[in-house]
Amino acid sequence: MEKDRIVEQIKDIVLYKTGKTIDEVSPQAKYEASSIMIMDDIKEDWAKTTKKNKDRRNAYYFSAEFLIGRSFGNNILNYGLNHEAEGVAEELGISLSALEEMEEDPALGNGGLGRLAACFMESAATENLPLQGYGVRYSQGLFKQYFNQGFQMEEGDDWTALGDPWSLRKQAETKIVNFKDQKVLAVPYDTPVIGYRNKNINTLRLWQAEAINGFDFSKFNNSLYDDSMSTKNRAEDITRVLYPNDSQKAGKILRLKQQYFFVSASIQDIVSKYKQHFPLDIKFKDFSKYHIFQLNDTHPVMAIPELMRLLLDENFLSWEEAWKITKKVFAFTNHTILQEAMEKWSEDIVETVNPRCFEIIKEIDRRFIAELKESKYTNEKIEELRIVSKGTVRMANLAIRTSIKVNGVAELHTEILKKDTLKDWYELYPSKFLNKTNGITPRRWLVYSNKELSNYITELLGSDDWILDLSKLKELEKYLDDETVLKRINEIKYNNKVRLAKYIKENEGVDIDPNSIFDIQVKRLHEYKRQLLNALHIVYLYNKIKSNPEIDIVPRTFIFGGKAAPGYFRAKSIIKFINEIAKLVNNDPIVSKKIKVVFVENFRVSYGEKIYPAADVSEQISTAGKEASGTGNMKFMLNGALTLGTYDGANIEIFKEAGEDSNFVFGATVEELKEIESTYDPEQLYLNDEVIKETVDILKSDIINDNGSYMFLEIYNSLIANKNEKPDAYFVLKDFHSYVKAHEKIDKEYRDSLSWARKSLKNIANAGKFSSDRTIKEYANEIWDI
């Protein structure tokens, strides 16, 4: 039997690694041995896929983040070992869920951009598409979040402390990356990306920075112990932390070094493999035939001058030859309309990182200006389009100038790029721009994380074909009026809420009621995502309940999760504010019977796998026009949550697919906000609206405590009387009453459990568009030609 073979294989690995029998070792040792067994099982298929891809055109996904989540359970599912998994675990004397909990989430990303990259990699492998990933193997990740007196605190996320059985160190393929002031080794670690039940396994290659000569014996021998390791530490700093704090110049240099490090190593790797495979093509005339690089936002854009550098300086092509190749092999995804997120680096920082690449960027800019002048562009227009301008290098401009295609990630986002943010570029290169609405992999976000619902869908549809074609979920609409089915949908949701409540009690120490509405907002902390609006609404409810303890409302549990960047003071202030509201609400004997508030610590993929299936309401409340797409909204939808959202990002497409009557829409539109932008006066709104004033004034009251940090005063000023920038820049107060009304509608509609289940099923049935399988096939057909 397959089960017996697997068990014996794991026992042999345990004995080899520890010298002990399976009964004598820890759960961690059992997890590690089981993981090694899977890696051993897949090795032949992985090698076959790699060999097959050598003779094909490949796409290469360059991303600063790959938020892959735990590998153990997902790999068991995709490789087809899940039928034996429970039985194997039982034979090892442990439950399968306990084995899964042994794995640390790899600290390789932060939010949607990194999780999208992971979903794309899995979908490409599932669709038999040759897509390889390249990124950074961070030793400490972004940070591990915890709360102290309600404040966000950060500590290193040493995710490999107990080992990393899912990646292979490929020492022989190490590269050297040259900076102006140092040389470092780039050591590759390869992680398999397993397609669903098809034996196709692509590769995610992550680079780790190490010193060429890491230890100075003579300094150590002279008792200069710290100095003897300084070279090693400086090299390893490059891949220590995701997005190093760049508020100081040293941080900016380190951050750009990190970006250049991984693209330089990746381009070197790809070029060297090409030369080995095609040794006679010394002019690289077929290079673009076999390669296309997708730049995931601006972080990897240094790959453009780096490819030019390699072609010019190490392979002796002329500028014209090198530029002709370079212009054919890059495509660029824009993930934001926020100007601060479109990276710009001062000239001296780019020059400090790699002077030769800076020279190449300036030459690309010089030739581009000449072209624009020939085309009779005005100096004013040219200034908008320039790559190097006013002492800064504009990475988005470099990417758009060079790339064959530029895509947004939702229909609204792409239209805003074309009509506003990148209007001048769209007028110059209209054929370059196209939309690719984001997606999520249904394997992880439904089949793996919500097994009960997944199995029920298969039962209803009579087949599990939907797992590979999510559009088949549309067939579930025939059950929209089937009371038995609707009751079962509610039962599955309740079971998931019980599971999450248990997990939150164990990890956060807070009791929550599975019979309450689970109203959830989990995402990166940023002002435009408006966690503050959510928090102020809870204050409004608190005030209502205090003034009328007998008020008739359906009990509600508000769940938050997400990290604020360490240097983002206001976002950290909002976290403190929410935690203080949670303390106020949860400790009140009257209010806590009606509402509860929980901010979960260290939100990550494995937490999300428990949260998304349990949600009744999905909070997608960003200021209209600010969220490029979102993918959390899709995970909630696929698991049957109803979206409470603005006309923003992919929300619009969710409303279109599932219907506004099955969701809750509120807030001003992009067009409406544009109309009032210059005249909007939040201070007058605050002074003339008693409800808003009473709600906002909690920020100045003594019933919550910011521990002398002045955080709450700073939030108050940002809404009402900001001296340095426009107050209420994200229209929190403008949308407040519309948001309150939407919540009142939720309260009313949740009382009819069958009607709610019908809306839930309508969302599930219409989530097909939001599969990353669909997105990745569009990339493959319309951008990559693979």
H or E stretch at 559: strand 556-561
762 a catalytic residue:
no
Q: Which of 70, 413, 488, 529 is catalytic?
A: 529
What pairs with residue 293 in β-bridges?
60, 330
Residue the block writes with tokens 């098809």: 198
- What one-character-per-residue DSSP string does 454-519 give? HHHHHHHHTSSGGGT-GGGGGGGGGGTT-HHHHHHHHHHHHHHHHHHHHHHHHHH-----TTSEEE
Give how far the C-alpha of residue 360 lies from the chain's centroid of Cα atoms, to the nearest Å: 32
Alpha-carbon distances, residue 40 vs 4, 36, 37 (angstroms): 16, 6, 5
The 517-522 sheet, strands edge to edge: 595-600, 556-561, 517-522, 617-620, 642-645, 664-665
Number of Cβ within 10 Å of residue 352's Cβ equals 19
Does residue 294 sit in helix, strand or coil? strand
Q: Active site residue: 523, 576, 604, 769, which one?
A: 523
Output the furthest CA–CA distance in the chain (Å, rounded).
83
* Catalytic site includes residue 523: yes
CA angle 542, 548, 550 (to 5 degrees): 105
Pseudo-torsion of CA 385, 389, 392, 395, nearest 10°? Answer: 20
**Hey, is 644 helix, strand or coil?**
strand
Active site residue 335: yes
Whose CA is closest to 392, among 359, 346, 342? 346
Point out the catalytic residue in the list 70, 252, 386, 524.
524
DSSP tag of 771: B
Beta carbons of 231 and 221 less than 8 angstroms apart: no
DSSP state of 724: S
| Neighbour-count burial of 18, counting CB atoms closer than 10 A to its CB (0-12 exposed, 13-18 middle, 19+ buried) | middle
Point out the catalytic residue in the list 126, 557, 631, 775.
631
Q: Is 401 known to be catalytic?
A: no
Choose among 637, 586, 619: nearest CA to 769.
Answer: 637
Packing angle, helices 72-79 and 82-91, rounded to 10? 130
Active site residue 623: no
**Host H or E run for residue 749:** helix 736-750
Cα 504 to chain center, whole Å?
23
- Contact 240/138 with Cβ under 8 angstroms? yes
Give Cα separations from 614 to 235, 444, 483, 500 (angstroms). Answer: 43, 15, 21, 7
Instruction: Tell me the residue type at 755.
Output: S
- The yes-or-no answer on residue 631 being catalytic is yes
DSSP β-ladder status, 291-296 and 330-333? parallel
DSSP string, 568-633: -HHHHHHHHHHHHHHHHHHT-TTGGGTEEEEEESS--HHHHHHHGGG-SEEEE-PPTTT----SHH
Report the distance separating Cα 480 and Cα 766, nearest Å: 12
One-letter-per-residue 3-state SS of 664-713: EECCCCHHHHHHHCCCCCHHHHHHHCHHHHHHHHHHHCCCCCCCCCCHHH
Which of 240, 291, 335, 401 is catalytic? The answer is 335
Task: Kindly name the residue from 30, 563, 635, 769 that is annotated as catalytic.
Answer: 635
Cα distance between the two ends of the chain: 39
Q: Give the C-alpha separation, 657 to 671, whole Å.
A: 22
Residue-wise DSSP of 149-215: TTEEEEE---TTTT--TT-EE-GGG-EEEE-SS-EEEEEEEEEEEE-TTS--EEEEEEEEEEESS--
How many other CB atoms sit within 10 Å of the CB of residue 176?
Answer: 12
Residues recognised as catalytic: 335, 523-524, 529, 631, 635
